[in-house]
Structure 1
Amino acid sequence: MLQFLLSDNESLLQYLNEEYVSIEEIKMRLFLKKRAQNFLLPDHLYRLEQTIVFDTTKSLSVLFTATMPDFVSSYLELENNRIYIRQEKHNDWQEILTFIPPLWLQSLLLFKKTNDKFSLEDRVKYFNTYIVPNTQYTSIPSAKIPHLNYFIAENKGLHDLHMHLNGALETDQVWQDYLFNPKEVYYHLKKGYKSTKVKEQLEQESVQFTPLNYYKLLKIAQRLRELFYVFLFPDEAAIYKEKNKMVLLQKLVNDFSSYPGNYQHPFRALVCTSIQRHPNEMSIEALMHIMILDRLQNNPNEILAGLLHFYLLILGLTNRLLVQQTHQNGFEQFQKHTLNELREGSEKEYMRRYHQMHGNNMSNLHFLEGRFSPKATQQDMISFISKIYKGWNKLLKDIYDKNNNSPIPQLCLIAHFIKRPEKRIDKTIRHKELRYDLIKRGKVLAYLLKNHSQYRRKITGIDAASSEFDAPPEVFAPLFRMMRRAGIQHFTYHAGEDFYHVLDGLRAIYEAIHFCDLRTGDRIGHATASGLSVHLWSKVIGNSLRIKKGDHMDNLIFCYHLIMKYRIIPLQGTIPYISNEVSNLCFTLYNEYFSMEVLERAWLMRQCCPVHTLESNKENIRSVSVFDNNEWNFVVEKNWIKERKLLTDNPAWRAFEAYHRKQNREKFNEIITIDPFEILKKEQVEQIQLTLLQLMSEKEIVIETLPTSNVRIGFHKDFDTYHLANWIRWKKEGKNIPAIVVGTDDTGIFSTNIYNEYANIYSSFINTHNTPHSETMAIIKQLDESSKIYRFEFTD
């Protein structure tokens, strides 16, 4: 129940309406928040938890100085001067971080465990002894797992093989930037607010939310910090010496001129004499919280406690805009965090995020694959990559300065090309605009690697990222072939992450492998559809599913192809039903009947570039920017067509052309309702999963699993159903499962780091699946070993 303390929009609105919030109102609202998690449970069960939490909590001062520290102590522990996550609570802790940023939780624990060591006279010593070691680079603590820690030390860090450089900074880092320059945040959010998806995100998290309203909240938070300082040091200033608590709140909310706020952290002067921004502003923020808690314990003050509550509610709202919440399932919810522009100002430079990832001990990373979006010009690309490595080199310098014997991590860059939805529909070619843009950016990258050989060691791989609903693998196939010809050695593709039906997630994986010509050592990002429990998914979806008519037909063609090509004997009996359904769908889409064999061939033909495939005369397209003689010849060399003068005599070409035709696309996108298991039953869909995994293993295509990201975006409530366990179980049963490597995806959006992702895996197997320590560590070692083998390094 207490995890919802900072998610209480009603109390935030009450403060904005210039009314203080009572402990009874908080008690009621947290009860309602908890009840909203599961309406099937009766109130009397929730009432018992409410009684346990609030039985001795009679004021806000007690809530902050006793109740919340006790709550945090069930997740965190202090050993010597370091804070650790309790290993048995690690997966639960990962859920807590969606509700409350970790810095305040750490502050509560330090207050509870070191209160006897804190004094105003020795605050600098206390600051350096307890606060800085836990918050210098990251506010996210880690568990103390002896097996895992020993393994990491022996291997000099971990491999993070899927990490996007944007969306990386954690909430507590960004919060300091927001209060340093609220106006910049406003401008970025105003830009992001043009997106309908961003508007949806803001409205689902807070009513009457606009960029201007959020700017006002940040200004209020600025002024509240100033007021906290004056509360603790009343002789320092007179501006906040308002005795009437209602007038004080009114001025905080409305009086910008009298209460301007300060861009510098007011508590900075307690530990620093420089006028510059302190390098450890999170640490200063933690000091502020501990000093407020100390004051509330020694001299309870409901006005100060109420204003702290107000401040924390603004911070909590900020965290919900920056970190994907447990209620925000699916890729589209994730995408809203990438579109809202709220990290734009903070992520101009790269140094802080590298320090954050490497941890306060500077020991997390051994090898990092950072993903970036390639720029449209060579000069922009050079400037961008230089900025990325400038931050990285600063990290390396700090490691050298700290300890010459510390292991030095390695950075390689992966250029991820972005899937985008069609804005202007072309009459004859699907995703024409995106296809042209991909080739343009691909050529810039290819020329860079050709003309500046030093970048070949820095940019070591290619990826296709973002929403699978926006563009399918076929759009990226010509780009991948071009980049392979340009000398790129490693390829990965985000596929099977989110889907309407599990089958189109599996189809996306297969298309990425087959259409983009993935080879030994190449990888698939996420591949959730190949591991997700079909029975679990069916419980979430129910007995009916809405899907686009064309996707439904393509899924069935894919199943037909897999069953026939790989001789899946147990599924042979479904072929007549698949063929009949596809025949009916085909006529409604194309107004023409094509045989299953022709439709299968036309589907496989999508790996060809339609600009080159639909044209019979080379001279007609030689002048277009995407023309490539290799692509022109590819269609014939792969035997998709034999004679260009007789294209219309080729039924597969006609079906391919019909697929791209604009008027057919409208029918293709028509939404229908199906029984998801009418043709292939649950067990048969699982057989498709296992067949796909087997062919991935045989081709040595590797899976990138990203624990917290997969739990948030996938059909999981929490780590209890995380599908890595299915892959491991199938492997133990003798099934052919591909190698698996680990990544963090977006460390800020998912509030994690590579150590904690391995710890989440460890805790999931130990605590949920009751796997012995030795067996769990064998899994961890295999994941890391695969990462060493399949990391994307440059080789001569």
Structure 2
Amino acid sequence: MLKFLLSDNESLAKYMHGKFASFEDVKRRMLLKSRAQNPAIPDHLYRLDQQEAFLGIESLSEILTKGFERIAFTHLELNANRVYVKPEQQNHWQEIITFIPPLLLQCAFLHKYMYTNYSNCKTDESERHKYFKDYILPNTRYTAIPHARIPQLEHYVKEQNGLHDLHMHLNGALETDQVWQDYLFNPLGIYKDLKKGFMIPKVKEQMEQESHLLEPLNYVTLLKSAQKLRDYFFYYLYPHNNHKYDNYDKKSLLREFISNDSDISGSYKHPFLSLITDADDYFCLMSVEGLMYILMLDEISKTKNEFLANLFHFYLLILGLTNRLLVQQTHQNGFEQFQKHTLNGLRENSENIFLRRYYQMHGNDLSYIRFLEGRFSPKDSQKTMITFLRSIFKGWDKMIQDISLDYNNELESVRMKPQLRLIAHFIKKADNKPNDFIRHKVLRYDIFQRAKVLALLIKNHPDYCKKIVAIDAAASEFDAPPEVFAPVFRKMRRAGIKHFTYHAGEDFYHILSGIRAIYEAIVFCDLQKGDRIGHATASGLSPMQWKNNIGCKLLVKQGDYLDDLIFTYHLIIKRKIESLNSILPFIINKVSELSFLIYNKHFPVAILEKAWLMRQCCPVHALESDRENLILNNIYDEEEWCFIINNGFVNSRNELKNDKAYKLLKTYHNLNNRSGFDKIISIDPFDILKAEDVELLQLELLHEMTKREIVIETLPTSNVRIGFHKNYSTYHLLNWVKWQEEGKSIPPIVVGSDDTGIFATNIYNEYANIYCMLLYTHNMPHSKVMKIIKRLDEDSRIYKFE
């Protein structure tokens, strides 16, 4: 229940209206927040939970001191001067820090555990500097996210000189406690970003979902309030004469803090920085914030000053609101919730410089990463692309230079410097301006232009050949299918790119659609040995678990469901799945029914199957009969003109006009038929294929991937938040492990962190989450867990893109 302390919008609104939140207010709201997570549980059980949570807590000051301490001491432990997550709590800790940023919890822990040994820290400068240097800085220098102390994993990481992170997006990387410093330093920048974000419907939806307070000006006023509160905390702890706060009473002070008469463009400096240094040390601001937390918690703990507790509570609620905009919460399930974080642009100003991101993901000891594949979106001009790439590598080179200075001569010979490679990911976008004859025409032209720029860059600047090692397609699968990207993937392979990966099967309406997306990405985009699929959740998720999440009825587009059944028919026939032959007549009947509803004509299933497979052809080329007209088009490509013939769909272009599948392909693309395709229908998700049948399809797909040596990129925290999981206990990696032990064909699996800021993680913690899930939830012995960990990292070493 206490984890909701920073999710209390009602108390935040009260402060904004010049009123104080009481202990009873907060206690009541924690019960209601907890109850909202599962309203099926009766109140009398929640009241027992409330009694347990608030045992020994009788005031707001005790909520902030004892409350945060309880959470911290439940999850954290100390070894020497370093804070670690208790291994048995690692998976739960990953959820807790979606509610409360980890810096605050670390400081609540350090205050209670260590502050007694530095009793004069507040007033004695030398003692304060020593405490800061010995305890705060080592735990918060680059990241505030601690990791579990797992001797076997720590030894392995040290022995291997770090881990391989093979799926990490360079945007969405900075953690909340870093970004928070930037917000208070420059409220004007976030105001502009928030105004821009409000123009995007999904972003506005996110804002209204998380708080009714989030009009851009209201939020910036809150940031200015946080600035003033910081200043007051410093004044209170270190009073000086003739300060403007000297003559304020409590109500006047609160009114001063919430007034919006301040200039949001003015410069601002963290007042507590002066306790540590006279310099504007940008890189230690997160640690300075931690010092402020500890000093405030100590003061409130000693004095029981309820007024000061109220103001600190107000400050932390503003931080909590910010955190919900930056980190995907446990209640924000699914890809669209994740996408709102990527669209809101609230990290843009903070992520202009790459160096902080690299330090953060490499850990406070600069030991997490051995090999990083960073993903970026290619630009639409060569000049913009070069400028962007230079900034990426400038930050990386600076980090390598800095950490090389820290290596002594003995370590230099054995400690490998981390390596960075880049993957250009094309962005899936919705078809908001539909063309009459070609689906996703605007997007196809856009990614073709970006691919052309990227190909020219690689040709004209050979040094980038070694740095940009692969191509990807990312973002929402609901917006664009693999067929849109297939021509561009082929173009980039011809341009000399050797490696390819594709986000597929991450989120879906029907689990069959997720399985189909993985298959289409492999076949349509011609993925080859050593290429990879990002996420591939649909190939491992338990079908029954999925059904239990979505219920007995499912709304789908009837065209998508038709495609799912055509794909199922295709896989059963191609893979000769004899145990599913008995359902083929039911599939064929349903396919016939749906195709008539969509196209107003019955088609044999073989024609529908061929037309579906023909979607991998570029429609700009395949549907154009006049080559000369096409040559005038800047998207013309000779290989794509010949693709439909060279891949055996027809023997010559003259045959196209009489080919039934080709005619159906044109019908599929024609705008007049899309309303039937997009019509929403309600189905029983297991009306034809039962859960065990879907599992057979999963295994056949995995066998096909194994045969082709297509690798899976699994991303633990991302998959738990976006996939159909409540927590790590059902994380589908376990199914892949179990099936492999049963002798099933499972392809190689590698690990990534995805978006380290949005998911509040890093590659070390992703391995720790896997380790602790297997050990503590599924009771595997240490030796077996380490064998799995080593296999994952070994696959990452083998299948990294170089």
Q: Give the 3 Å change call, closer, same or farther, for CA 679–236 of structure 1 in structure 2.
A: farther
Q: Distance in 2 between matches of 1:246 and 1:314?
A: 19
Q: Distance in 1 between matches of 2:156 and 2:263?
A: 57
Matches within 5 A, 1:33-48: 33-48=33-48
Q: What CA deviation, in whole Å up to 9, does each residue of 1:474-522 have, x standing for no partner?
A: 0000000010011101000000000000000000000000000000000
* Secondary structure in 2 matching 1:463: strand
Q: Distance in 2 between matches of 1:446 and 1:30?
A: 55
Contact 2:426 2:473 in 1 (8 A): yes
> Equivalent of 1:430, from 426, 432, 439?
439
Q: Distance in 2 between matches of 1:242 and 1:500?
A: 61
Opposite residue 299 of structure 1, the aligned amino acid is T
Per the alignment, residue 612 of structure 2 pairs with 603
Q: What displacement does 1:257 show?
A: 5.0
Opposite residue 153 of structure 1, the aligned amino acid is K
* Secondary structure in 1 matching 2:631: coil
Q: Distance in 1 between matches of 2:634 and 2:265?
A: 55
Per the alignment, residue 547 of structure 1 pairs with 556
Q: What displacement does 1:297 show?
A: 2.1
Contact 1:705 1:742 in 2 (8 A): yes
Per the alignment, residue 31 of structure 2 pairs with 31
Contact 1:363 1:407 in 2 (8 A): no
Matches within 5 A, 1:603-642: 603-642=612-651
> Equivalent of 1:392, from 392, 396, 404?
396
Q: Distance in 1 between matches of 2:240 and 2:264?
A: 17
Q: Distance in 2 between matches of 1:362 and 1:645?
A: 62
Q: Distance in 1 between matches of 2:198 and 2:365?
A: 38
Q: Distance in 2 between matches of 1:111 and 1:684?
A: 55
Q: Distance in 1 between matches of 2:6 and 2:534?
A: 33
Q: Distance in 1 between matches of 2:593 and 2:726?
A: 37
Q: What displacement does 1:36 show?
A: 1.1
Per the alignment, residue 656 of structure 1 pairs with 665
Contact 1:731 1:737 in 2 (8 A): yes
Q: What CA deviation, in whole Å up to 9, does each residue of 1:296-327 have, x standing for no partner?
A: 12222111110000000000000000000101
Per the alignment, residue 313 of structure 1 pairs with 317
Residue identity over aligned pairs, in percent, reads 58
Q: What displacement does 1:255 show?
A: 5.8
Q: What displacement does 1:258 show?
A: 11
> Equivalent of 2:339, from 335, 357, 363?
335
Opposite residue 628 of structure 2, the aligned amino acid is E
Q: What displacement does 1:42 show?
A: 1.5
Q: Distance in 1 between matches of 2:263 and 2:530?
A: 63
> Equivalent of 1:372, from 366, 371, 376?
376
1:195 aligns with 2:200: yes
Q: What CA deviation, in whole Å up to 9, does each residue of 1:167-210 have, x standing for no partner?
A: 00000000000000001000011111100000000000001421
Q: Distance in 2 between matches of 1:719 and 1:613?
A: 46
Opposite residue 565 of structure 1, the aligned amino acid is K
Contact 2:373 2:422 in 1 (8 A): yes
Q: Distance in 2 between matches of 1:320 and 1:22?
A: 23
Matches within 5 A, 1:403-552: 403-404=407-408, 405=411, 406-552=415-561
> Equivalent of 1:363, from 364, 367, 370?
367
Q: Distance in 2 between matches of 1:440 and 1:569?
A: 45
Per the alignment, residue 205 of structure 1 pairs with 210
Contact 1:83 1:141 in 2 (8 A): yes
Opposite residue 605 of structure 2, the aligned amino acid is M
Contact 2:224 2:264 in 1 (8 A): no
Q: What displacement does 1:781 show?
A: 0.2
Opposite residue 581 of structure 1, the aligned amino acid is K
Deviates further, 232-241 or 36-45 = 232-241
Q: What displacement does 1:263 show?
A: 1.2
Q: Give the 3 Å change call, closer, same or farther, for CA 221–620 of structure 1 in structure 2.
A: same
Opposite residue 148 of structure 1, the aligned amino acid is L
Q: Distance in 1 between matches of 2:265 and 2:79?
A: 41
Q: Distance in 1 between matches of 2:739 and 2:510?
A: 22
Q: Distance in 1 between matches of 2:297 and 2:575?
A: 65
Opposite residue 211 of structure 1, the aligned amino acid is P
Per the alignment, residue 788 of structure 1 pairs with 797
* Secondary structure in 1 matching 2:273: helix
RMSD of the alignment, in Å?
Answer: 1.3
Aligned length: 792
Contact 1:222 1:262 in 2 (8 A): no
Contact 2:13 2:213 in 1 (8 A): no
Matches within 5 A, 1:9-408: 9-118=9-118, 119-120=121-122, 121=124, 122-235=127-240, 238-254=243-259, 256-257=261-262, 263-274=268-279, 276-404=280-408, 405=411, 406-408=415-417
Opposite residue 367 of structure 1, the aligned amino acid is F
Contact 1:242 1:248 in 2 (8 A): no
Q: What displacement does 1:630 show?
A: 0.6
Contact 1:230 1:236 in 2 (8 A): no
- Normalising by structure 1, what TM-score? 0.98
* Secondary structure in 2 matching 1:603: helix
> Equivalent of 2:694, from 665, 685, 692?
685
* Secondary structure in 2 matching 1:369: strand
Q: Distance in 2 between matches of 1:465 and 1:761?
A: 24
Contact 1:527 1:703 in 2 (8 A): yes
Contact 1:658 1:664 in 2 (8 A): yes
Q: Distance in 1 between matches of 2:305 and 2:779?
A: 47
Q: Distance in 2 between matches of 1:278 and 1:618?
A: 59
Q: Gapped runs of 5+ residues in structure 2?
A: none
Q: What CA deviation, in whole Å up to 9, does each residue of 1:526-579 have, x standing for no partner?
A: 000000010111111111100001000000000000000110001001111111
Q: What CA deviation, in whole Å up to 9, does each residue of 1:670-690 have, x standing for no partner?
A: 111011111111110111111
Q: Distance in 2 between matches of 1:236 and 1:366?
A: 53
Q: What displacement does 1:261 show?
A: 8.8
1:4 aligns with 2:35: no
Q: Distance in 2 between matches of 1:237 and 1:658?
A: 79
Contact 1:264 1:277 in 2 (8 A): no
Deviates further, 201-210 or 304-313 = 201-210
Q: What CA deviation, in whole Å up to 9, does each residue of 1:205-244 have, x standing for no partner?
A: 0014211111111010011000100110112651122442
Q: What displacement does 1:431 show?
A: 0.5
Q: Give the 3 Å change call, closer, same or farther, for CA 399–260 of structure 1 in structure 2.
A: closer
Opposite residue 385 of structure 2, the aligned amino acid is M
Q: What displacement does 1:617 show?
A: 2.1
Q: Distance in 2 between matches of 1:306 and 1:115?
A: 23
Q: Distance in 1 between matches of 2:705 and 2:260?
A: 63
Q: Distance in 2 between matches of 1:777 and 1:71?
A: 29
Q: Distance in 2 between matches of 1:192 and 1:589?
A: 37
Contact 1:744 1:752 in 2 (8 A): yes
Contact 1:134 1:360 in 2 (8 A): yes
Q: What displacement does 1:450 show?
A: 0.8
